[in-house]
């Protein structure tokens, strides 16, 4: 189900009507706007999770019409439905259709809302690949067992390595940080951390040590190996050495290999 792009000549009122029709069809509920949980799922999907509620900005500033919160998102949609926001530019759709590959909406097998490429179809699968920052939609090719790459997607249940590390953050809340690429983690009474709590208790491989580098007044971890100076690898790396395929498999995570076409 595609979120329609807004044409230059299209009235905002008509565009919002079309978007709301997509939301109603997706949720199978004409009164979806009265359900906070349903609205929150829609807002997370449309924004790819880039919300004030889940951002390190939450500790520094209040939400705005640019970095919206779930509360503002719910307010936006409810104002669209009542027609009170038609002439107000602040209530434009918080979604950049032209800059994203995943512009269509779907429901995954267990009912989770996801953003996928428009070419996606029934029977496609969503996978997490080691070393890739986004999930992918793949299409099984029964004739030879390979998989066709349909494109990147956003699935909130797998967007932060849950398929590999699980969803138990041990009391920490995961946040995104606009100035650093790793996830940040927040807990009441603790300093902001960039070390994934799901790896607490997992020892570093022999020879590795964790260090921290300052980025925008935040300390982000990196890892160093005392013997890695060969041409194939520097001794400093930004990827956690506990996450290569063989080490993930050693911890009992089921790993598959896909032949992509």
Mean pLDDT of 20-36: 86
CA angle 8, 2, 110 (to 5 degrees): 150
Average pLDDT, the chain: 81
Tens of pLDDT along 93-146?
555 444 466 678 888 888 888 999 989 999 999 999 988 888 999 999 999 999
Note the pLDDT of residue 229. 59
Tens of pLDDT along 214-237?
877 778 888 888 776 554 455 557
Note the pLDDT of residue 132. 86
Tens of pLDDT along 148-190?
999 999 998 898 899 999 999 999 998 887 666 668 899 988 8
Note the pLDDT of residue 162. 92
Beta bridge partners of residue 115, listed in sequence order: 105, 154
Identify which has the larger pLDDT, 242 or 181.
Answer: 242
Tens of pLDDT along 56-100?
877 676 776 667 889 988 988 888 777 665 544 444 555 544 446
Note the pLDDT of residue 73. 86
Note the pLDDT of residue 100. 61
Note the pLDDT of residue 178. 66
The fraction of the chain above a pLDDT of 90, given in percent, is 31
| pTM more than 0.85 | no
């Amino acid at each position: 189900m595609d979120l329609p792009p807004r044409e230059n000549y299209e009235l905002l009122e008509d565009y919002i009507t079309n978007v709301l029709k997509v939301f109603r069809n997706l949720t199978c509920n004409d009164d979806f706007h009265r359900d906070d949980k349903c609205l929150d799922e829609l807002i997370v999907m449309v924004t790819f999770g880039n919300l004030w509620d889940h951002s390190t900005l939450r500790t520094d500033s209040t939400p705005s019409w640019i970095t919206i919160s779930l509360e503002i998102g719910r307010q936006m949609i409810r104002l669209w439905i009542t027609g009170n926001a038609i002439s107000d530019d602040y209530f434009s759709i918080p979604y950049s259709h032209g800059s994203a590959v995943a512009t269509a909406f779907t429901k995954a097998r267990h009912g989770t809302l996801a953003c996928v490429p428009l070419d996606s179809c029934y029977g496609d699968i969503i996978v997490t690949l080691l070393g890739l920052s986004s999930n992918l939609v793949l299409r099984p090719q029964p004739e030879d067992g390979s998989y066709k790459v349909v494109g990147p997607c956003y699935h909130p249940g797998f967007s932060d390595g849950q398929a590999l590390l699980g969803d138990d953050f041990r009391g920490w809340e995961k946040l995104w940080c606009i100035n650093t690429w790793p996830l940040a983690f927040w807990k009441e009474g603790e300093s902001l951390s960039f070390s994934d709590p799901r790896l607490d208790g997992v020892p570093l491989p022999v020879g590795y040590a964790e260090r921290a580098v300052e980025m925008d007044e935040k300390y982000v971890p990196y890892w160093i190996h005392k013997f890695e100076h060969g041409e194939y690898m520097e001794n400093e790396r930004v990827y956690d050495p506990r996450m290569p395929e063989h080490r993930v498999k050693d911890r009992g995570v089921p790993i598959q290999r896909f032949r992509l076409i």
